[in-house]
Amino acid sequence: MNILVVDDEKFNLIMAQDLIKENILDSQVFLCSTPETVLKKLEEYNIDIILLDIIMPNITGIDILKNIRTKKEYDDVQIIMFTGIKDKTSFKLCFENGANDYINKPIDFTEFIARIKASVKARKNILSLIEMNATITKQYQKLHVITQELKETQFNLVQKEKLASLGEIAAGITHEINTPIGFISSNLATLKRYTQKIKNMIFIYRKFVQACAKENITPEKLMQEKAIIDDIEQQEKINFVLDDLTTILSESSEGANHITKIVQSIQTLAKTGIENEMVYNDLNQIIEEGLLIVKNEAQSVAEIDRQMQDQLYLLCNKGQIGQVILNILQNAIYAIKNLNSNSLGKIIIKTYSSEDYVICQISDTGSGIKDEHLSRIFDPFFTTKDVGNGVGLGLSVAYDIVKKHGGEFYVTSEIAKGTSFTIKLPTNGSESSHAK
């Protein structure tokens, strides 16, 4: 403990030094008889406690006190005023300007030692707090790094869960895309044949126009040419070709739109959630996009019963809510498959509004969830599926998404009768979702 004694009287300096050395263990005493050098000694010796006389030539102890307390680095240094003054106003000034204690002159040995020891104890406590604060700061920094790593890990897990969802239904998506691509390709082949027929007819029509332009052509000749053209049109089925062109173009356009919708749905699901801002979306459209992705997988398993209220808009991250819906639909399909029934099951989708919320309830007639599992289905890595059919992240991620949107997520189930998931989302989003 470094203690600086400041006094213009040598006797007081020596006496204070002897008393401190005899009674304060592990202390080092520095003496200062020139008050102008106090700040220099503070910096040079890393002083913990100052014993400061009030009455000194040229500059008072109170002025030195004020000067020390203007330096932030000396805020925690203990300062004891050392004085024979009994003036309460002076004491008041000392404490108002940052003094921690005082010692009266002439020195009372017992009082002197007691007050010095109290200051030593206070300084040690302060140093302990400083050390503890430094330790806490380091721990906080480490915790901050760990938290960031956990966030990145969680983010990567969410993305892996999305990819896993897409992987599970990849075959169905491929079928949904291949079917329209197949008839578009077939229609293009047909269109190619039709184009050649039309090109041939245009060539014949041009020859007929040229014949009509001749001044010496007879009406009989024109009628003969027209009859020839009529026969060719009938042989090439031109009327049928012209009618069928409209159907071909309509079917091809419909197929292309179907592919576009599937691709857009997959893109929405695959988005990270960072680039997809909170905007108003129609909940029913999000559900339809999810149904489109699982359409091929679901059609051989269950009938889809839509009971959806129109125009259910909410402020949300479309990709994230789409992931929630897709996960519930996949679970419903799996649960119905798990019954191994020969008949189709049913997936009932209800959407409606209530005050400032929109609600989506997805129910299935599947195998149901055991009572002891219901309280754990939102836990990370918990799954009732067979090995290889899930890692137990889907519902956990879905639950977190709903909560971050300020919503609520419920589940009810009965063995062999089915399960019902209900998500309740605020129409105007939540503070936590806005802060993303």
Show Cβ contacts of residue 29 under 8 Å, excluding neighbours closer than 6 positions. Answer: 3, 4, 5, 16, 17, 20, 21
Q: Report pLDDT for 389.
A: 47
- Answer yes or no: is pLDDT of 76 > 50: yes
Confidence (pLDDT) at 378:
75
- C-beta of residue 332 within 8 angstroms of C-beta of residue 369: no
With a pLDDT cut of 90, the percent of the chain lying above it is: 26
| pLDDT at residue number 391 | 45
Better pLDDT: 374 or 336 = 336
String of DSSP letters for 359-374: EEEEEE-S----HHHH
DSSP secondary-structure letter at 73? G
The two three-digit tokens of residue 238, written as one number: 């031109």
In percent, the amount of the chain with pLDDT more than 70 equals: 87
pLDDT at residue number 336: 93
- Identify whether the C-beta of residue 257 lies closer than 8 Å to the C-beta of residue 291: no
Exposed, middle or buried, 302 (CB in 10 Å: 0-12/13-18/19+)? buried
According to the model, what pLDDT value does residue 281 have? 92
Which is higher by pLDDT, 391 or 204? 204
| Phi and psi torsions of 172, nearest 5° | -65, -40
Buried b (16+ CB within 10 A) or exposed e, 371-391: eeeeeebbeeebbbeeeeebb
* Total count of residues recorded for the chain: 436
Is the pLDDT confidence value at 98 over 80?
Answer: yes
Instruction: Write down the H helix ranges in 97-169.
Output: 109-168
CA dist 27 → 1, 49, 117 (Å): 5, 10, 11
Q: Would you say residue 388 has pLDDT above 50?
A: no
pLDDT-wise least confident of 184-193, 251-260, 278-287: 251-260
DSSP state of 342: S
CA 283 – CA 356 distance, rounded (Å): 14
Question: Which amino acid is located at 97 in the chain?
Answer: N
Taking each helix axis as running N to C, give the angle between helix 238-270 and helix 283-299, from 0 to 180 degrees, rounded to the nearest 10.
110
Tell me the residue ranges of DSSP E strands in 302-392. Answer: 302-308, 313-316, 345-354, 357-364
Q: What is the pLDDT of residue 220?
A: 83
pLDDT for the residue numbered 270: 60
What pLDDT band is residue 358 in, cutting at 50, 70 and 90?
very high
Q: Is pLDDT above 60 for 60?
A: yes
Q: What is the pLDDT of residue 432?
A: 46
Residue 83 CB neighbours (<10 A): 21
What the block records as the tokens of 408 is 């609520």
Maximal C-alpha separation, the chain: 149
Sign of the alpha-carbon dihedral angle for 39, 45, 49, 50? negative
* pLDDT score recorded for residue 253: 87
Range in 45-59, 94-108, 204-218 with the lowest mean pLDDT: 204-218
pLDDT at residue 360 greater than cutoff 90: yes
Q: What is the pLDDT of residue 309?
A: 94
Residue 139: what pLDDT?
A: 87
Closest by Cα among 246, 227, 248, 233 to 202: 233
Decide: residue 136, CB within 10 A, 0-12 exposed, 13-18 middle, 19+ buried.
Answer: exposed
More confident call, 165 vs 188: 188
What would the mean pLDDT of 298-303 be, rounded to a whole number?
90
Q: What is the pLDDT of residue 340?
A: 81
The pLDDT mean for the chain works out to: 84
Place of tokens 């204690």: 101
Q: Enter the DSSP assignment of 232.
A: H
Residues pairing with 418 in the sheet = 414
Residue type (1 letter), 79: I
Look at residue 428 and tell me whether its pLDDT is greater than 60.
yes
Using the predicted structure, report yes or no on whether residue 80 has a pLDDT greater than 90.
yes
